[in-house]
Amino acid sequence: MTTALHCDPRLDLLLERVVDVPPELVWAAWTEPEHVKKWFTPAPWKTVDCEIDLRPGGIFRTVMRSPEGQEINNVGCLLEIVPNRKLVWTVALQPGYRPGNPTFDVPIFTAMILMEAYGKGTKYTALAMHKDEDSRNAHDRMGFRDGWGKALDQLVAHAKTM
Amino acid sequence: MTTALHCDPRLDLLLERVVDVPPELVWAAWTEPEHVKKWFTPAPWKTVDCEIDLRPGGIFRTVMRSPEGQEINNVGCLLEIVPNRKLVWTVALQPGYRPGNPTFDVPIFTAMILMEAYGKGTKYTALAMHKDEDSRNAHDRMGFRDGWGKALDQLVAHAKTM
């Protein structure tokens, strides 16, 4: 299978990195709620709940909690599921493909997570696609790069314990 | 395969009808551009162009033209493709799953088209899902029921010539 990556730098935010855990563990970390809760939200926030119905149209929901107890409930819709290779979800749709806006104040985006065996590790790609430059830039200012990078560090650290 | 239909009357518009052409012809009429051009837009408008990349994330584009020559270019994203059973597409996403707004002034919706063998014909279901009651009601006032019903009449008439 070939997974073509169409990245438009004006509209997209991209994180690419080689990590030293295999694709199967990265996949499990992304698709099993018990694992997602261990890494998804950059510390000192925590992921206190997660719900995943792993099929096209299924729910991808996380609840993030700040040290002060503020909670953010984030509901998205899964779009494409290729085990150990590709996971796509969006906050532009609610579960069941119903149009909807994110439940918190984030620019609307679709996330495409790609993983590819690379030696004993994984070439990991996370792409966030936006409808226009304003959305992309707002997401950038919110700290996409640091946030998703730090979350990936947490994913790798957790995967090594799995 | 079971295709569950989740319809919320406050948010959705629904067309259900039994038609006297088999699911395979309804499917072909919906998924092959040469056929779509024959029925998709209620007369006296015409469908003058159509582009379909029949895979999840692929384009579903139609161009409608009024008798006076006004053209409307409608671009959506295919989500789920189950031959002879189920077709799902949305105008909340552009091809490749990028968030985006419709290219013309229509409430944002996701369409789910279901077909099921019924005697020698098809039980046909078209569901338009919206994010809120305002969108649903605006789509209703634009003539969803008459428009989609008239298009279905055209689909059936065309399918009988296929």
A99 and chain B in contact, CB less than 8 A: yes
- What is the rounded average pLDDT of the residues B147-153? 96
Q: What count of CB pairs under 8 Å joins A to B?
A: 72
Q: Give the pLDDT band (50/70/90) at residue A106.
A: confident
Q: Give the pLDDT band (50/70/90) at residue A4.
A: low
**pTM: predicted TM-score of the whole model, two decimal places:** 0.93
Q: Is the pLDDT of residue A3 over 60?
A: no
Q: Give the pLDDT band (50/70/90) at residue A5.
A: confident
Q: Is the pLDDT of residue A149 over 90?
A: yes
Query: B127-147 burial, b if ≥16 CB within 10 A, otherwise e?
Result: bbbbbbeebbeebeeeebeee
Q: Which residue has the higher pLDDT, A129 or A101?
A: A129
Q: Is the pLDDT of residue B77 over 60?
A: yes
Asked if B101 lies within 8 A of A131 by C-beta distance, the reply is yes
Using CA coordinates, name the residue in chain B closest to A102. Answer: B131
Report which DSSP code applies to A12. E
**Residue among B16, B26, B48 at smallest CA distance from B158:** B26
Q: Is the pLDDT of residue A1 over 70?
A: no
ipTM score of complex: 0.91
Residues of A in contact with B53 (CB under 8 A): none
Q: Which residue has the higher pLDDT, A144 or A117?
A: A117
